[in-house]
Amino acid sequence: MDNLSDTLKKLKITAVDRTEDSLEGCLDCLLQALAQNNMETSEKIQGSGILQLFASLLIPQSSCTAKVANIIAEVAKNEFMRIPCVDAGLISPLVQLLTSKDQEVLLQTGRALGNICYDSHEGRSAVDQAGGAQIVIDHLRSLCSITDPANEKLLTVFCGMLMNYSNENDSLQAQLINMGVIPTLVKLLGIHCQNAALTEMCLVAFGNLAELESSKEQFASTNIAEELVKLFKKQIEHDKREMIFEVLAPLAENDAIKLQLVEAGLVECLLEIVQQKVNSDKEDDIAELKTASDLMVLLLLGDESMQKLFEGGKGNVFQRVLSWIPSNNHQLQLAGALAIANFARNDGNCIHMVDNGIVENLMDLLDRHVEDGNVTVQHAALSALRNLAIPVVNKAKMLSAGVTEAVLKFLKSEMPPVQFKLLGTLRMLIDAQAEAAEQLGKNVKLVERLVEWCEAKDHAGVMGESNRLLSALIRHSKSKDVIKTIVQSGGIKHLVTMATSEHVIMQNEALVALALIAALELGTAEKDLESAKLVQILHRLLADERSAPEIKYNSMVLICALMGSESLHKEVQDLAFLDVVSKLRSHENKSVAQQASLTEQRLTVDS
């Protein structure tokens, strides 16, 4: 280290004299010291004040320039040296060196800038101001097609520099995207796929950029899907495949890229992985099985990619995914059920699947998870059943297959996601199915649970779905027995509250259910309607200019139905409804205006 102190003193003198031979000797000495103990040597360099001198040594025509840049690259490996490098004014001369024709100078300059930028806001900012990124991207473009080892090494350094420059910095990543870095990197990957280091660098860069929404369109206009699938097929090592997965997952969120990946044959690769890993208990294999099956489900979220893989229900992929459901592997059961839910996104597919016995497969799966079951599998299987129940022709078939009984087994679940899907499935099944709605509506256990869930303030989804199912039981059954069960279980107040929901569709469903209650069982529900302050709420809905036309219309229908109750009739009179209703006679919506005239007559006659 004493020797190092002498070298630093000598360097100060020779840096001013510019005697190249002795300067080169000093630089070699420094590089040697850095190789032996980088941190300690870097501290000495910082303490000596020599960094400021380096700026004057970074000149294109000097034979020592590459060594100076190399020293800067080595010291900048230490976090504590990055800001001093910026403060010493090294960024601007380094960026100017990027225009050099000397490959060694370019290599060491790229390393120096990349290391200064690593995790350093100041470093990135200085490189940004000096315009370094654009020059590096231009180099990548012009050198892209040259495949000799020295050039590939330089390309790898430049990719690494851009990565360090923009890592986890959205605005700098966006800048690179605007400069057109994506098509260049994709081209690099295609040409240099034999070079492991460069390939890895491209993958990490893609992983960073793919997180940004604005990158997806640019990626979609390249052949990235084809290149990644080609690369994926060659990989045997788990780590390498994992790297590719990390790029595929964010890219596959884009529908256009989903389709490109399907067309490039990614699905076949994923199915193969599943087949290879399904019986393994190695941690890596279990992780890869999960990643592959999750990605498969993600690809099915795109309408075009999903339809392409469905192939009218005859497709090999569809059949293979179907075989996951009876498997003993929870991850595959989950992926299989989620895949079915994704295939069940249009009526044609749903009808085909129900006709081909998928409902029975899903019910068997649910049966295996009733007691201490896997919550994610329960949730996925219920999601699939809910989607399959949407087409009108499927409802009766699913009801006669015993889906309601299978679903009701989960009524005791304490998991909100399962509760939410259970409610949605039942609501879909009873839509316009009077008999099923009546049967369920008279099920005291179910109705009591719904009333309990209507108060689940921590879970808005469960609360909303419970209210909607309560209303649906009345609307589709039009049954006095159902209404009595709901009144006895304390459900009326929730339907009244639902009429004030911020969602028009829910308000409407509540008002229609309440009108049926008033028409069929007013005597039974009278007290509950009174204590829930229904009349005041209806007055508010009619007076509020923001209420939708159908809300005003159904509120007036309900007012007329309530006139059969003495106590509610009195409340209506006390609140001067006539003023509000008469104003609605000139409403722009014809149905509202007509109903206002009818309601006004009724109020006038009964007053």
C-alpha torsion 59→60→64→69, nearest 10: 80
Residue 528: inside a domain: no
**Distances 529 to 448, 471, 496, 512, 543 between C-alpha atoms, Å:** 18, 15, 8, 14, 20
228 in Cβ contact with 247 (< 8 Å): yes
- Give the pLDDT band of residue 19 (cuts 50, 70, 90): low
Picking from 474, 496, 522, the residue at the C-terminal end of a domain is 522
Q: Which two tokens stand for residue 231?
A: 């690369």
Do 240 and 348 fall into the same domain? no
Query: What's the DSSP call for residue 478?
Result: -
Do 31 and 122 fall into the same domain? yes
Reported as a single tens digit per residue, the pLDDT across 345-387 is: 999 999 999 999 999 999 999 999 988 788 999 999 999 999 9
Closest among 263, 230, 262 to 244, alpha carbons compared: 230
Do 397 and 440 fall into the same domain? no
State percent of the chain over pLDDT 70: 98
579 or 19: which leads in pLDDT: 579
Q: Which two tokens stand for residue 416?
A: 């909100």
Do 335 and 412 fall into the same domain? yes
Do 373 and 466 fall into the same domain? no
Which amino acid, one-letter code, is at 338? L
Residue 357: partners with Cβ closer than 8 Å, 6 or more residues away: none
Residue 326: inside a domain: yes
CA neighbours within 13 Å on the CB side: how many for 107?
12
CATH number at residue 351: 1.25.10.10
Do 503 and 591 fall into the same domain? no
> How far out from the chain centre does Cα 448 lie?
35
107 in Cβ contact with 71 (< 8 Å): no
pLDDT surpasses 60 at 408: yes
State percent of the chain over pLDDT 90: 78
How many degrees, rounded to 5, is the angle at CA 446 between CA 441 and CA 451?
A: 95
- Residue 606 — φ and ψ, nearest 5°? -85, -5
Closest among 374, 389, 291 to 340, alpha carbons compared: 389
How far apart, in whole angstroms, are the C-alpha atoms of residue 525 and residue 535? 13
Picking from 503, 522, 541, the residue at the C-terminal end of a domain is 522
Q: How many domains does the chain have?
A: 5
pLDDT surpasses 70 at 16: no
DSSP characters for 125-160? HHHHHHTHHHHHHHHHHHHTT--SHHHHHHHHHHHH
Mean pLDDT to the nearest integer, 304-324? 90
Do 55 and 2 fall into the same domain? yes
362 in Cβ contact with 322 (< 8 Å): no
Reported as a single tens digit per residue, the pLDDT across 461-506 is: 999 999 999 999 999 999 999 999 999 999 999 999 999 999 999 9
Question: SS3 letters for 248-287?
Answer: HHHHCCCHHHHHHHHHCCHHHHHHHHHHHHCCCCCHHHHH
Do 544 and 500 fall into the same domain? no
344 in Cβ contact with 356 (< 8 Å): no
Burial of 265 (0-12, 13-18, 19+ CB in 10 A): middle
Residue 429: partners with Cβ closer than 8 Å, 6 or more residues away: 389, 395, 398, 399, 403, 404, 436
Do 374 and 438 fall into the same domain? no
**Number of Cβ within a 10 Å radius of residue 403:** 26
Reported as a single tens digit per residue, the pLDDT across 273-306 is: 999 999 888 998 999 999 999 999 999 999 999 9
Least confident of 4-8, 324-328, 332-336, 457-461: 4-8
Picking from 522, 543, 571, the residue at the C-terminal end of a domain is 522
Closest among 228, 141, 154, 167 to 198, alpha carbons compared: 154
Question: Could you identify the residue written with the tokens 């995790």?
Answer: 119
Do 517 and 553 fall into the same domain? no
Residue 7: inside a domain: yes
pLDDT surpasses 90 at 50: no
Closest among 181, 183, 184, 203 to 193, alpha carbons compared: 203
Residue 279: inside a domain: no
Do 155 and 256 fall into the same domain? yes
Residue 142: inside a domain: no
pLDDT surpasses 70 at 20: no
- Residue 85 — φ and ψ, nearest 5°? -65, -40
**Cα-atom radius of gyration of the chain, to the nearest Å?**
35
Its domain, for residue 184, covers 151-264
How far apart, in whole angstroms, are the C-alpha atoms of residue 580 and residue 410? 46
Mean pLDDT to the nearest integer, 330-340? 94
What is the average pLDDT value for the chain, to the nearest integer? 92
H/E run at residue 574: helix 566-574
Residue 426: inside a domain: no
How far apart, in whole angstroms, are the C-alpha atoms of residue 268 and residue 537? 58
pLDDT of residue 604: 87
Do 358 and 452 fall into the same domain? no
Residue 8: inside a domain: yes
Residue 286: inside a domain: no
Which amino acid, one-letter code, is at 28? D
pLDDT of residue 607: 60
